[in-house]
Structures are given as C-alpha cells and as structure tokens.
Homo-oligomer: A and B are copies of this chain.
Amino acid sequence: MSQRFGPDLLRGSLDLMVLSILAGGSTYGYDLQQRVLEASGQLVQLQAGTLYPLLHRLEADKLIRSRWEDSTGRKRKWYEITAAGKQRLSAQTAEWDRYVACIQAMLAPIRSIVTRPV
C-alpha cells in the first residue's frame, strides 16, 4: 500500500473528486467511498467523518441532491449531481488546471537543482 496524502493536500480537491464521481453516475455514500479509493489507486481513503459532512455541505449548496432508497433491499441514501453541481464541477476543474500549471511553473526552476535524492 503506497503512502497516503496529507489532509492539507486533499483539502483543495475533495469536492472535486466527489463531484466528478457523481458526474459519472448516481450512487450512495459508502459506495462513493469505495469508488474514490479505487479510482485513486488506494491512495485516497475518504474517511466517514470527512465524507458525510462533505456530502451534506454539497447538498446544502444544491450541488447534489439526495433520496432514500430501500427498494434495492438495503436502505441507502442515493446522491445525484444537479445542474449547478455540474457547473461547479467544470469551474472547479478549470481552477484546478490553472493551479497545477501555476505550481508546476513555480517548481520548474528547482527541479534541476534539488534532484539530489536521500
């Protein structure tokens, strides 16, 4: 199992991850957790104490919508991305891209200098 990422790194893009997963199809919390884990190559282990407050926040912001479903045997809360959520996703993806480009540019000079491995 490779190393996980620090909380501060994740902070910027957990919304992004969740929204992107939901953009690929509706699902419920627990499954979302598994999907993020898998999609990240076991690197992002979304904790329950992180996931549920996050979902509630996104719902409060009308970016996602929820519905209890028990017809599938088990009582689960399904989440679906809204139109506003898709807009946010695309905006946030764009911001992410700009950010990455920005940091890469800042790191470029030192990549050649500090390539001394421990």
Contacts and interface: CB of A to CB of B under 8 A. Distances in A.
5 contacts: A3-B95, A23-B110, A23-B113, A86-B116, A96-B103
A40 to B, nearest CB: 5
Contact of A95 (B5, B95, B107): B5
Interface string A1-22: 0110110111111001100110
A93 to B, nearest CB: 6
A114 B86 contact: yes
A105 B43 CA distance: 12
Would you list the 4 A-B pairs with minimal beta carbon distance, nearest first? A9-B12, A20-B110, A8-B11, A8-B12
Nearest to A19: B110
B9 A39 contact: no
A107 B40 contact: no
Nearest to A115: B90
Contacts of A3: 95
A60 interface: no
